[in-house]
Copies of this chain bind each other. A is one copy, B any other.
Amino acid sequence: LSGIIRRVARSKQSRWLEHARGELEHAGHRSGGARSAVLEALDREPCCLTAQEIFDNLRTDGRAVGIASVYRTLELLWNLNLVRRVDIGASACYEPEQPGGEHHHHLVCERCGKVSAFEDARLEDAIQRLGRRLEYKVGEHEVVLRGACPDCRAA
C-alpha cells in the first residue's frame, strides 16, 4: 500500500509549485513570505496536511508565520482550485490539487489513526456513472473509508 501512496504523492510534485505560483500571479496576487512558505510546505508533504501541521512545520523551520496566514492562504488556494479540502474527522486537511484532474482518496485506520491514500479507476467510474444517473453535475468528491489497516489486522 505504501507503494501506492508514494506514487500518488510524488508523481507531479515539482509541477504543482510552479503551477500554483503561476495561477496566483495570474489572478493578480502578490507574493508574500507567509504565502510562499505555505506553498512550499504543501509541496513538500503533499498528502493530508492540517493547517496546524503546516503551521508547526513552518515554525520548526524558524519561519515566523501566523496561523491566520496559513488559514488565509489555504482559503485562497482553495478558491483558486489549487488545493483540495478533505474532512477526515476532527479537523480538515489540505493537499495540492493536481492540474490533470487526477486525485486520490483516503483510508483511515480506526485503530492506529494512520491515514493512507489510494487511487481506484473502478471507483471513479462508479461515481461518474452515478452523477449521470442522478442528473447531478459532480465536480469535487471525496471518499473516506474507515477500517483496520493490514498492520493492525495482523496484530
Contact = CB atoms under 8 A, between A and B. Distances in A.
B141 A145 contact: yes
A150 B126 contact: no
Interface string A102-143: 000001011000001010101101110111011111111111
A22 interface: no
Given A131-B145, A144-B142, A137 B123 contact: no
B136 A140 contact: no
A34 interface: no
A149 to B, nearest CB: 6
Contact of A122 (B1, B129, B135, B144): B129
A105 to B, nearest CB: 9
Contact of A153 (B110, B137, B141, B143): B137
A144 to B, nearest CB: 5
Given A87-B89, A89-B87, A123-B123, A138 B146 contact: yes
Contact of A146 (B89, B125, B139, B147): B139
A67 interface: no
11 contacts: A1-B135, A107-B134, A110-B140, A118-B130, A120-B126, A120-B133, A122-B129, A137-B147, A139-B146, A141-B143, A143-B143
Q: When A and B form their complex, which 6 residue pairs have the shortest distance between CB atoms, in order from nearest?
A: A87-B87, A138-B147, A137-B148, A141-B145, A140-B146, A123-B126
